[in-house]
Structures are given as C-alpha cells and as structure tokens.
Structure 1
C-alpha cells in the first residue's frame, strides 16, 4: 500500500502538471495548422484516430500488467516483513534455505511482472514514430503536388513539416505520461479498494453518550458467527454485575476470546444483544465507550518509544507523578528504575528488549492509568514464570479492585480470585458458580481442573 501511495504521489507531483502543459501546447499547434491550411491540417490529423484506437486496445492489457506489478511488490514486502518478524522461528527450524528460495521466487515474479510492464510501455514509442513518419510522408506527397501545381507556397509546406514535429513532440510526452497514468490508476484502484471497505462495526447514526459507566454487562440471547452458517456462540445469557470479576474457562475454541471481542465491540452480535448499563451496546458512542474500556492481552503489545510514553498511551494528560504512582501500584516501578534511563528507557519494536513479565506489568500500568470502568483480560498471566505470576497476581488484584472485569484464565490463582466462573463448552454456557462449588459438582470445570493440576499433584507426591 505504501508503494501504491508513492506511485500516486509521483504522478500528482509532476506528471499531472506536465500533462496539462502538453495539452495546451498541442491545442495551440492544432489551431496554428488549421489557420495556415485546413486541408494539410486535416491530412496531418488523419493519423490521430489510429493512435486513439491503439491506446484503447493498449490500456486494457497495460492496466492488468501494472496491477500485477503492484501485487508482486506487495507480496515481496509482505514476505520480507514476515521473515524478519519470524526470524527466530525460522532459525530454530532451520528454514533459512527454504524461506530464501521462496523469497527468491517472489522476487523473480516481481521481476517478470516489471519486464512485462516495461515491454508494454515501450510499445507506445515505436507507434508514435511510425505516425510521425506517416504524417510526414502524407504532407510531402500532397503538399509537394500542390507546390508543383502552384496552389501552395513552399514556405507553408516547410512550415507544416515543422508543425508536424512540434505536434508530435507533445504527443510523445503525452503517451509517456499516459503510461505513467496507467500505473497511477493501477495503484489508485488498490488504494480505493481499501478505502471503500466498510467497517465491520458501524457507528450508530444517533449514538448514546454515557457520562458514567457502572459496568453492568448483560448478554441477552447472544449468538455469533464469524462466517455465515458457522455459529461460534449459541444463545448466551449472562449478566455481569458492576464491580464483579467473572472468569471464563473452557477448552480451546469454545468462544472465550469471542465473548471478550464482543464486549470490546470488535464485532457485532449475529443474534440477540449486549447491554451496558441497560443500553444496547450498538447504540452507544463507540469512541467514548472504548475510553472506558481496558484490554490486556496474553501477548502485550508495546510501542517503540520510552516506557513513560507507553504507560501514558491511554491517558495523554497524565502527569509524571501519576505515571510513577501507577507503576508503583502494579509493581513495575522497581524494575523500571533499574533500567538505564528509568522511565525514559527506549523500548524496541513490541518491547522485545524486556522480558514477558516486564512487558505485562507495563501493560497493566497502561490499563490502570487509563482508569477504565471495565477490564478485559485475555490470558494475561499465561506466559510467565512462577515468580512473575506472583508479581502479576498482586498487580492484578489492584487493577481489578472496584472494576467490572471479564478474565480469560487457566491459572488456578486467577480462577480462585474471581467472583464467578463461567464454563464454556461448544459455544454454550455449561455451568457457572464459585470455584469450590463447581469442583464439588464434578462437571466440566472439575474435569478441566483435574487434567490441568492432578498430574502435577501426582508427580509431587
């Protein structure tokens, strides 16, 4: 997409002005020829329809070739970015040669697409030269006869010979710019294809703004499918009270992350409705709602920049004292001050120069500083060691205090601290209740607990 925008920019910066200037020059020469001798002017212009016919036929194939070039360079850039991002996986699986060969194939495809495009562009110039020669021959033939018959002055004939050269100079330039225009149009079609994509979550024409959010969330007969006919959630009925922490548990693929995505309104429900404080989520101002929402993911995303900037990301007006106090609250202050530069320590892409636990603590601080009314946590303590989990659990307790929270978790410590556990199975709520009560029932939750923790207990014995 960046290359497409650059192609459009290059044409608008220079090509568009050249085209306007050449058209004016061309019109002036035509007027001069018609004024001097209408018959010779018509003879000169008789070759122009052939040029237009060629251009109409040429552009149909040329645009396809130019689009193929844009797609080829897009594939090259995508593969390059993917290989750089996944370099550790590639090295660990000894895939360097395979990936290098695939990248070479993409580069060759890009080369071939450029060669086809270049050949198509080069076909324009020989045609223009052929038209120049044809027009010159016609003028010499008919004009020479008229001079011999005494009906035309030699000076006018010589003048028309010069006019032909001046007439076709702009034509040469316009054909070159036309090829550039086709490239720009190919890029423009890809850009507008992206711009024409409608958002999956449209704003309400009359959105409701909630000045205060207590955090009551209600799923009212909610069903959802990512693809038509493939339902992921089936008739979900669930009420989360203000300030309540609800843990979602269940096997992989049962819809836990989907519920979190629906609450964040990354998608809209297929059937039923989700209510926030009694209002349909689809009727609430989306931007204002998400300002009251905090989201902490299993793999926290940190931005390139200082730690201070990352913590302040959701609350740009926060003072330095608030940032430090928030970091202390979640237990991140101590390790931040040990870094070179402290809060000004510059993070690499996605915060790769910090450990997973440190990145997660910063994401907790970022969420807390934004002061959300509702917190959504997707396996926030899944990928950390025991000590980091202990630190994160303490931070989590402070983060959840007084807030409505929906937590996806498999860690026993997180599940036990929840006010209620909702067990999902095949997109439906199988059971819900407190941890000890669910274990006593001997249902799905009990079986999941035994599969996760019983082997560890047996080994310890």
Structure 2
C-alpha cells in the first residue's frame, strides 16, 4: 500500500476523530467525574488573579491594610491554589486511566478483527506492516488520549474561564481579544492540513521498515549464505532515509507554525492591550489591579494555546495512525463461515470433491474441475510437480478459502454447512514446516487445549516415538522450546507436530509433505506410526517422495491444476505416464 493512500482528507480526519471519541462512551461516569474536577480546578486557578486585583485596587492603592480581611484574602488565595493542585492531580490521573483502558480496548478490537480475516488477506499483506499497525500505530493513538485530548479539554475549559474573567474586568477589551480565536484556529487548520502528509509518509515508511526487518530476521540464514547483507543494508538505509526526511519536514513545520507563530500573536496582542489602556488613560484613570489582572489573563490565555499547539503534532500523528488502524479494523475479507442453520458433525469422514475449480486471484484457476471420492479408512495421495495444485486442495478442504465453482462434501453434507470449529476439531493437519511456539514440549503438544491431560500428551508422544528424544531433554516434557523450536532438529520438530495432531484423535488426517524433513531412520519410525494412525481414518497425503505413498489406496496425479492420472501404485506404473516418469527419476537419484 502506497503512502499516498494513507493521506486523509479533512472530512476523513474528522470522521476518524469522532470514531475515536466513540470509545469514550463506555466510560461516561469516570469522564463526568474527571470533568467536574477539571472545572473546579480551572475555576480555582482562575480566581487567583481576581483576588490579586481586589488586593491591589481595594487595599494596596488606597494604602489601607486591615488585618482580618487581608488574612482571609491571603488564606483564600493559598487555599484555592492548594485545591487546584489536588484537583488537577486527580483529574489528570482519571483522564490517563480512562485513556489507557480505551487503548487496551482498541488493541483488542483490531487484533480480534485480524484473527477473523481470511488467509487471502495475509497472502498479500506483509506481517511486519500488520505488527506496526497493531503496536506502533496504537501507541501513537495512546498519546492522543493520554496527552492530547486531556490537554485540549483542560486548556479549552481554561480559555473559556479566562474570557469569562476578562469580560468581568473589561467587556470591550475582551470582545477585541475574541478576534484572537479565529486567527489561532486558522493556524491550527493550516498546520493540520500540511502535517498530515508528512505523518502519513512517516507511518507508511515505519511499516515498511518493520516488514523488512521481520523478513530479514526470518531469512537470516539465506541472507548470510548468499551474502546479501550489503544489499539489504542499502535497501533498509533507503527506506530509513525516506522516514528521516519526512520527519525533518515535520520538524521544520513544527518550528515554523507552532510556538514561534503563537509567540508572535501573543506579542501583538500584548501591544494592543497596553495601547488600549494607554489610550484610555488620557480620558479616565486606569485601575492598576485591572491592568495587572488583564495582562495576567492574557499571558495565561497564550500558555494553554501554546500547550495545544505543541501537541498538535501528536494529535496529527494519532489521527493518521488511527486512520491506518481503522482501515485494518474495517477489512471484511473474513475467513469462510458456516452457511445455514444446521450444525452437522463429522462421523465417518467420507470426502467428495465434485467439479471443484478455484482461483486465488479471481483470474487464473489453480484447480480445474477436480473430482474424487475418499471413503472412511482410505488413504489417498496427491503427487505432482510444484504448483500443480496439491496444497490448494488441502486449503479448500480445511476451508481456509471459499470455493468458487463446484462442491465439497463431507459425509454427504456440503462443507459450508459445517461450523469451522467442527472442521478444525475433526481434521488433523501436519505441515512440511511445523510451527512451534515459545513454551514447553508439553504446551506445544497440548497447544492450550485444556481438556487434554498430561497422560494423553505422553501417550501421543509415545505413539509417534517422540518420547525417545523428549525423555533425553533436561526437564523432559517441561523442557523449554524457543521461538519456532530453533534448538530442535527438523525431525524432532516434525515429531512434535505429529504428536500435536494425534493427541486430539482426528477423524480425517491430512499430511502435507509430513516426512520431507525427517531423516531415513526417523522416517521409518514415523511410517510405522502412520500406519497405526491411518487405521479407521480418512487420510490425505501430499508427498514428493513416492516411496512414502506406495501403500495408498489411490494416488491422484496433478498437473497444472488438473487430475491427469489416478490409480494405485502398480496401476500407475503400468500406465507409463507422468507418475511412471517421476518414479523412475526418483529411483535413479536414489
């Protein structure tokens, strides 16, 4: 996705902001309490200059200093300041607590939507970019809630209070000062319009950096083997430079439109106020207390404006990041779900494909009119060159993708009538590259299916002969497993994936190149276990090594998405077709 797609219009930015504010609805009571404290703290803070004005005009200028009124005036001044300190602390704490809760909800929402998306979405979306949206972008949004919104709300309330106080002191001059507000709003809008472009580029480049780092770390062995370090460093540096340039442009904009421009407006406003008092002094006497209070309020007026302007950059980053996050949340390309109200169960495991055709991109068919039947207890193997469509058949059977043409039946029922939970529970899948998680041997076999007991875990490991190496590990079944099982051999990882599959007693067994990464000695043990596993189960096996599927009840030979040969091992050899050629080539290489 190009960064230009991430630039939001003014209307889109407003829509994003309202959507972000929608998350505050669940915290109405806490927000109301925080607002009450904020109002009280603002009122207490704003009353200070009024008390000083009273002291100057009523006591200091006429030089009368009665003890008791001044004592009460002083105590009230100190009391208001202390009350403002305490109330500001608690309201700030409450706002930040609410903000952190909202970000927690937002992250859960976006992650939940990502989990529901179909594999077609992940096929074309870099993992690093997704991680960047769920982590970096939500972190930017957190600053909006924790820093920006609380500051804006507090300072807007403060500005309203300042103008009330100004009107109390001098209504005509306060009206003149109101003209400062549209000037500041125009400055904010100009900054928002220009900066959104830079922050969109920064967010997109950061996603690209994360995606590149993720891909590089996962493929580090290949990179070092083919000496690609220099090229990748150059590509990484180029993207990093683009991120830096966007950041520099943003900093230059901040340096021009934020504090300096506001300071300039403040100086002009101060000159106008002093000029007004100077001009009126020729007509009527000027109250020193009023002058002090007005200048004090004017100074206080620009301090919250400066605070808001300095946080506009965080606000703009948050809006851009929220737009990216909401775009991810709004993806509706979900994995296929059950159709119909019936919820059948898989009992026998009979499978039938009827004229199934499928395309990943909607244009080129990777499967063409595939038809076959597998009865309970039978083993059917798929063979063919890379790209012939073997894995696509499994993807459709597991219902990772929706079929476009044809029909898939399980126990005589359309596959879409089953709940995905039923399909996943009754099908056991072993992939060529088993994915292990950080944890223990036991947790990787159990995979957090809490109904599986320790005894069942051990039984499954013994069934596939994984117990032989597990019992030699320190801690045995509680031995630590690092990310992706990097400290285990490929054969050991495969054995664990076998145990993980068998422990749940699947009705249908799917083996996708299950023995390709296993040495000959281990393969013999697995083949023995497989024979026991396949008894009474419907088994689908994909294999490159034809020697592993000689015993299959039926072998289907795929070529360019079509079944061109079918039969058992001996029958296919007699046909002297593609299977015969593949078998002779493998026999020769062996």
TM-score w.r.t. length of structure 2: 0.74
Q: Is the 8 A contact 1:315 1:369 kept in 2?
A: no
> Greater CA deviation, 300-309 or 396-405?
396-405
**1:151 to partner: Cα distance:** 8.1
**1:103 to partner: Cα distance:** 2.6
**1:98 to partner: Cα distance:** 2.6
**1:10 to partner: Cα distance:** 3.1
**1:398 to partner: Cα distance:** 2.5
Distance in 2, Cα, partners of 1:118 & 1:254? 53
Give the aligned partner of residue 411 of structure 1.
545
**1:248 to partner: Cα distance:** 0.7
Give the aligned partner of residue 44 of structure 2.
none
User: Does residue 1:178 correspond to 2:289, yes or no?
Assistant: no
Distance in 2, Cα, partners of 1:428 & 1:213? 29
Give the aligned partner of residue 60 of structure 1.
193
Distance in 2, Cα, partners of 1:327 & 1:447? 38
Q: Which of 81, 92, 100 is the aligned partner of 2:225? A: 92
Give the aligned partner of residue 401 of structure 2.
267
Closer, same or farther: CA 32–328 of 1 in aligned 2, 3 Å: same
Give the aligned partner of residue 241 of structure 2.
108
Distance in 2, Cα, partners of 1:202 & 1:139? 68
**1:302 to partner: Cα distance:** 0.8
Task: Report SS of the residue matched to 2:282.
Answer: helix
**1:154 to partner: Cα distance:** 4.8
Distance in 2, Cα, partners of 1:397 & 1:198? 42
Q: Is the 8 A contact 1:43 1:135 kept in 2?
A: no
Task: Report SS of the residue matched to 1:407.
Answer: strand
User: Does residue 1:11 correspond to 2:144, yes or no?
Assistant: yes
Distance in 1, Cα, partners of 2:276 & 2:589? 102
Distance in 1, Cα, partners of 2:555 & 2:163? 83
Q: Is the 8 A contact 1:301 1:350 kept in 2?
A: yes
Distance in 1, Cα, partners of 2:194 & 2:253? 8
Distance in 2, Cα, partners of 1:218 & 1:57? 63
1:35-434 matches, cutoff 5 A = 35-122=168-255, 123-150=257-284, 153-204=287-338, 206=340, 208-313=342-447, 315-434=449-568
Task: Report SS of the residue matched to 1:377.
Answer: strand
Task: Report SS of the residue matched to 2:281.
Answer: helix
Task: Report SS of the residue matched to 2:540.
Answer: strand
Task: Report SS of the residue matched to 1:354.
Answer: coil
Q: Is the 8 A contact 1:225 1:232 kept in 2?
A: yes
Distance in 2, Cα, partners of 1:294 & 1:144? 88
> Greater CA deviation, 69-78 or 415-424?
69-78
Closer, same or farther: CA 207–425 of 1 in aligned 2, 3 Å: farther
Distance in 2, Cα, partners of 1:221 & 1:342? 49
> Greater CA deviation, 253-262 or 178-187?
178-187
Q: Is the 8 A contact 2:336 2:399 kept in 1?
A: no
Distance in 2, Cα, partners of 1:9 & 1:207? 41
> Greater CA deviation, 150-159 or 427-436?
150-159
**1:104 to partner: Cα distance:** 2.8
Q: Is the 8 A contact 1:249 1:256 kept in 2?
A: yes
Distance in 2, Cα, partners of 1:270 & 1:314? 34
Number of aligned positions between the proteins: 456
Q: Which of 164, 183, 195 is the aligned partner of 1:31? A: 164
Closer, same or farther: CA 262–49 of 1 in aligned 2, 3 Å: same
Structure 1 residue runs of 4+, over 4 Å off?
Answer: 151-154
Offset from partner CA, 1:281-334 (integer Å, 9 cap, x none)? 223211232122211111111111111111111632211111111111111111
**1:177 to partner: Cα distance:** 2.4
Task: Tell me which protein shows more helix as a share of its residues.
Answer: 2
Distance in 1, Cα, partners of 2:168 & 2:375? 87
**1:153 to partner: Cα distance:** 4.4
Offset from partner CA, 1:179-209 (integer Å, 9 cap, x none)? 2111111111111121111134242364542
Closer, same or farther: CA 423–168 of 1 in aligned 2, 3 Å: same
Distance in 2, Cα, partners of 1:352 & 1:386? 21
Task: Report SS of the residue matched to 1:422.
Answer: strand
